[in-house]
Structure 1
């Protein structure tokens, strides 16, 4: 078990031994929830949508994919 401190911006750092044990990498999206009086942090269960390569992708398709991804991250 690691110990962490809440910063003035209400951020925490996941201790290195926990990150290593779970293979958490920079940029991963984690889901935070409550179970009683416990804070539970886990990997987001949704699979991120991927654009298929091997064909030309229009700027509109790219923008649409970005917007959908942002909505998913914000929980909309």
Structure 2
């Protein structure tokens, strides 16, 4: 069984064999829950929004898309 350590910033690293087995990639969003005294980490099922290339967006439009994405993550 792999072991991980809590850093001084209360972060943990998911061991490589677990990441590979689950196909977890850098930048992916995960949900963390407490169930019956155990930490359960689940892959977030929502797809992240992407912006189409070659589309000119104003700074206001970019901010709006960022805010919408953050709100979706909080749901």
TM-score (ref. length: structure 1): 0.77
Deviations 1:39-72 (A, max 9, x none): 0111112222344567654443322111111223
Backbone CA RMSD of aligned residues: 2.0
Structure 2 residue aligned with 1:65: 65
Count, aligned residues: 75
5+ residue gaps in structure 2? none
TM-score (ref. length: structure 2): 0.78
Structure 2 matches for 1:32-71, cutoff 5 A?
32-51=32-51, 57-71=57-71
- DSSP 3-state at the match of 1:34: strand
5+ residue gaps in structure 1? none
